Structure 1
Amino acid sequence: MRPRAAAAAACAVLGLGLIGGAVTGSWLAGDGGGAARDRFTAADSLWHSEPVDQLFPPTVDGTGAGPGGADRTWTRIAVAPDSGCAHAFDPLLRKALAPVGCRRLLRATYTDATESYVTTVGLLFTKADPAAMSGLAKRFRDEHLSSRTDLLPRPYAAKGTVAAGFGDAQRASWTISVLTDVPVVAFSVSGWADGRTVNTPQPAADATRAGATSAPAQAGLGNEAQGLADRVARRLRQTAGAATEKPS
């Protein structure tokens, strides 16, 4: 009887450990729990409840964001009026994003410290629930939609700035991230500030790889797009998390 009791106790402990590990893993991954749901819900209203300087700071520090780990600093030169999504994406990209809807679109354009490059970064606030966002993220991964040159975000070219000539033909590198912990698609697109035309834009994931030899890669435009988009998305998540915290 003693060996049987010991075996039963061991199985019980193991079972509790597996259950606890699964719950902990789910919580860490943001797959469930009240806090994760609260953050997702809170993020839905940030487009009108947060000041523009919170979502798109006047200056963004990119420590280690440049080629070879070089530091970057981006300065905001223009903020687009919040709008719908009708003219912000190539037609096929707009179609791919349609299942999650477009509640509101926010965009801002930045330049680097030398004013050699310009980058438009955007936050598309969707109408989707967590399941729909996860489904769209899976589709983007499985079908490699973020690397297709016929599915690009469009820049915001502000008159009277170094980005005045930043149009569709000037797009050099870009990134698109379907976030699943908040109802947002974050994206950015970069190019040269002198208005030069780019025949073959390259996704940031490819342009930032070691040994990449394309013009956008050599200029660090993949780093510009990826680095700025990552930091704006991170700031959005932090803001959504802070909005759910209860005062002590």
Structure 2
Amino acid sequence: MARSSSGTTTRPTTGSAAQDAAARAIWRTTPVNQLLPPTITREGTESYIRLGIQPDDSCASLPDAFTAELAATKCVHVLTATYADRTQTVTATVGIVVLSGTVPERLRLFQAWSGDVNATKAAMMPHVYAVPGTVASGFSDKQRVAWQSQLSVDGTYLVYAVAGFTDGRTGPTAAAIAAGSGSAVSSSSPAVQVAGDLPAALQDLLANKIQAAQGGAS
């Protein structure tokens, strides 16, 4: 469970120290191939195919404006991959940001973070990952159209997606993103829909793994 793209907040629960430690260890104890699976299937017929996993798990994919919003917490690692929708119309780079910080610090971040507000800030938009030999081989930051993000309820994992079109078209200006103007950034835009869908999907996956890990730690 996480803060939804519509801004709805799920009440956070901290659990015991052992449960917190179990949740924070998920990124180390679970193979990245499971955290960023080959295929992500959503409601209906929508599915996303993983094109490649970024071998660099440093925080370099996050711009300064993004890390500044993390407040007292800090980025420890970022697990990154690029996906394409089933029609190969949209590509999206997703990231699972592993955060440090005490329980109170991470919960404060959970309460303060707004995916919808931050989505209007082009300076915060993470960098994309191009995958050679795929439809995302030419994927670049200039093609970024939209991004969205969600935090896990304990503030340990922040998941984001940055989407653009595979035809190579240039993304909207920072002013257009801030204003939400133009068809590319409308709610009906495929890139906007993918950017909102993937963080929700990955947070669902993380929530299931956290619940299983905490059950073993209780």
TM-score normalised by L of structure 2:
0.82
Q: CA RMSD in A?
A: 2.7
Q: Paired residue for 1:40?
A: 20
Paired residues for 1:190-229 under 5 Å: 190-200=163-173, 214-217=183-186, 218-229=188-199
Give 3-state SS (helix, strand or coil) of 1:237's partner.
helix
Q: Paired residue for 1:137?
A: 110
Deviation at 1:85, TM superposition (A): 0.7
Matched positions, count: 205
Give 3-state SS (helix, strand or coil) of 1:174's partner.
strand
When structure 1 is superposed on structure 2, of 229-238 and 91-100 the one drifting more is 91-100
Deviation at 1:151, TM superposition (A): 1.2
Task: Give CA deviations for 1:31-82 in whole Å, capped at 9, x if unaligned.
Answer: 3443xx5443212222221112321111111115xxxxxx311000100114
2:49 alignment partner, one of 67, 75, 91: 75
Identical pairs, percent = 28
The 8 Å contact of residues 14 and 103 in structure 2, kept in 1 or not, is answered as no
The letter of the residue matching 1:62 is R
**1:122 correspondence with 2:91:** no
The letter of the residue matching 1:169 is K
The letter of the residue matching 1:79 is I
Q: Quick check: which one's helix share is greater?
A: 1
Q: Paired residue for 1:8?
A: none
Paired residues for 1:225-240 under 5 Å: 225-240=195-210
The 8 Å contact of residues 148 and 162 in structure 2, kept in 1 or not, is answered as yes
* Structure 2 residues without counterparts, runs of 5 or longer: 1-9
TM-score normalised by L of structure 1:
0.73
When structure 1 is superposed on structure 2, of 153-162 and 183-192 the one drifting more is 153-162
The letter of the residue matching 2:196 is Q
Task: Give CA deviations for 1:167-219 in whole Å, capped at 9, x if unaligned.
Answer: 1111111112233325111111100012211123777xx97xxxx86224343
Q: For the residues of structure 2 that align with 1:120 and 1:224, how far apart are their CA atoms?
A: 10
The 8 Å contact of residues 140 and 146 in structure 1, kept in 2 or not, is answered as no
Instruction: Determine which structure has more spread, i.e. the larger CA radius of gyration.
Output: 1
